[in-house]
Chain A
Amino acid sequence: MGVITIVEVLEHVERFERMLAEFYAKVSEQSTREGVRLLTDYMSRHRWRTHEALTKLSIETAEQIYRICHTPLRYEPQGADRHSFEGVELPPDATAAEVLDTAIKFDECVIQFYRQVLRQPVDKEVKELFESLIRFEQYDVIELKKIKAMDYF
């Protein structure tokens, strides 16, 4: 018997996205650097949008593909939760490069979390959904790396 379903997995990441949005909003509020405030304010809103997209996805999935949504997984994926923030410190004078490096690590946490679903025997549709979510996060990592390379903030 499975311990977690796909909907619960999506809800888990939704919660993590909300934590990220709140984390970046706090960094933005506390930063002494105008560039970091601008950057983290954008990143916070971006994570809220992702949170909302996932909420919508889990609702749509529940409506349209009930079976997939309630597919039990054999193992509960681990990570992408409050423990991911342990040891992460961004002081008020943290630079934009430091913020972006931290953001990349958080994105990689989410990618690792999704990969744990793909390592289990899952339906083709579930596989496609999580491959798509992984690509979305990978695209985000590329964007963050590009912003870092631009050295604007």
Chain B
Amino acid sequence: MIYLWAVSSFAGLTVALAAMLMIAERFLVNYGICKLDVNAGEKPLEVAGGQTLLSVLYANEIFIPSACGGKGSCGHCRITVTSGGGPVLPTETPYLTRKEIRAKLRLACQVKIREDIYVRIPAELLNVKMFASTVESARELTHDIKEIRLRLEEPAEISHRPGQYIQVQAPSADGPVYRAYSISSPVYEPNIVELVVRLVPGGIGSTYLHNLNTGDAVSFTGPYGEFQLNEDPSVEIVCVGGGCGMAPMKNIIYTLYDRWPDRSCWLFFGCRTTYDVFYFKQFEELARKHPNFHMVYALSDELGEGERWDGERGFVHLSVDKHLEAGLKRQAFLCGPPPMIEAVTRVLEEKGVRPDDVFYDEF
């Protein structure tokens, strides 16, 4: 009995002390107004101290990537803090290498502003915006993949490059979280953002998006991503997708043929059964209009009863190996599970594609 009393007294005392500390920090510790300098005077801000760097940046419409809502569990919100960030915290070290720590990289969600702080943010991220949109349409492409078209409300247009992605704000029990999805609509549709989403059982983002109806409001930030389409029309483009890794390919291919109708481009898409095939007719139609567009869909499973398929069989990297001649100047974009990316990259290297010309989105 005495033991129980001692334990509960100690626990109570600990909770009370923690609460007192939080209250004291909230009301008594006043860091005042601190200077937040972005990119050496490019965007000087004055902010109330005591907040996290990530929340201050979001409040000032600087949307750096963050998938976990500032909980320090995704490691995406990396920025360079040149001065005023305090010591690197244990919660940051799992996400940063020693070299990155030496280069003053920090997780913005873990850095608390307590004094004047100086940060460097890539110029492209300063152009990322928060968008309000509504669902224009949501249709099933397969039993577990949906195409969701968002019409932009505010701002009404987005300027992006093919292969870039957005971060959709999805509600969760712990508050809003952000999940990354590639933009599948081409760049010449600036008031639309289209997504191709596979339902992941238990997944916060995909469950939210799959339950949306026409007219529902959706918020997102973007665009993000470093992919740059090679501007030289003599460079052949190779797109390889697996599973539901189609969204960035669709964007790249339609954007490409809008600008260079005669450019050479291959689309390889791998999935298991005929029930997983989507956008096939749409790309067939495109191939009829543009003779230099070649499409290869490959199925890896044996055909089931009632299934008909005249196309390629086997895994998609084998199709890439079969169809591409070695030695041409190429740029490749891959999207799919890591073992597929690895297998395709190996084939492309054998064909003479330089590693710097291979870009990928791993799931």
* B33-41, B157-165, B258-266, B335-343 - interface stretch: B335-343
A86 within 8 A of B: no
Asked whether B93 lies within 8 Å of A146 as measured between CB atoms, the reply is: no
- Select A147's contact among B94, B271, B338, B343, beta carbons within 8 Å: B338
Residue numbers in B under 8 Å from A149 (CB-CB) = 198, 200-201, 203
Q: Number of contacting residues on A, CB 8 A? A: 23
A135–B71 alpha-carbon span in the complex (Å): 13
**A38-B315, A38-B343 given as contacts; is B338 within 8 A of A143 (CB)?**
yes
A63 within 8 A of B: no
B276 within 8 A of A: yes
Asked whether A150 lies within 8 Å of B90 as measured between CB atoms, the reply is: no
Asked whether A34 lies within 8 Å of B314 as measured between CB atoms, the reply is: yes
Report 10 cross-chain contacts, Cβ distance below 8 Å, ordered by A residue: A38-B340, A39-B339, A42-B339, A136-B94, A143-B338, A146-B363, A147-B339, A150-B336, A151-B243, A153-B339
Q: 20 additional contacts, CB 8 Å, given A43-B339, A132-B93?
A: A34-B300, A34-B314, A38-B315, A38-B343, A39-B339, A42-B338, A42-B342, A131-B90, A132-B94, A136-B94, A147-B339, A147-B363, A150-B198, A150-B242, A150-B243, A150-B337, A151-B243, A151-B272, A152-B270, A152-B272
Asked whether B336 lies within 8 Å of A152 as measured between CB atoms, the reply is: yes
Residue numbers in A under 8 Å from B340 (CB-CB) = 38, 152
**A149-B198, A150-B242 given as contacts; is B339 within 8 A of A38 (CB)?**
yes
* Number of A-B contacts defined by CB within 8 Å: 64
A124 within 8 A of B: yes
Residue numbers in B under 8 Å from A150 (CB-CB) = 198, 242-245, 336-337, 363
Asked whether B315 lies within 8 Å of A35 as measured between CB atoms, the reply is: yes
B37 CB to closest chain A CB (Å) equals: 30
Residue numbers in A under 8 Å from B270 (CB-CB) = 152
A103–B60 alpha-carbon span in the complex (Å): 43
Q: Which size class do B's interface residues fall under? A: 20 to 34
A144 CB to closest chain B CB (Å) equals: 10
A128 within 8 A of B: yes
A29 CB to closest chain B CB (Å) equals: 16
Residue numbers in B under 8 Å from A128 (CB-CB) = 90, 93
Chain B residue at smallest Cβ distance from A133: B94
Residue numbers in B under 8 Å from A124 (CB-CB) = 90
A147–B323 alpha-carbon span in the complex (Å): 26
**A35-B300, A39-B339 given as contacts; is B94 within 8 A of A152 (CB)?**
no
Residue numbers in B under 8 Å from A153 (CB-CB) = 300, 337, 339
A24-41 at interface with B (beta carbon < 8 Å): 34-35, 38-39, 41
B180 CB to closest chain A CB (Å) equals: 12
- Tell which of A34, A38, A135, A152 has the most Cβ of chain B within 10 Å: A152
A27 CB to closest chain B CB (Å) equals: 14
Residue numbers in A under 8 Å from B314 (CB-CB) = 34
Chain A residue at smallest Cβ distance from B300: A35
Q: Would you give the 0/1 interface string for A109-153, flagging 1 where the beta carbon is closer than 8 Å to chain B? A: 000000000000000100110011001100000010111011111
Asked whether A146 lies within 8 Å of B200 as measured between CB atoms, the reply is: yes
Asked whether B337 lies within 8 Å of A147 as measured between CB atoms, the reply is: yes
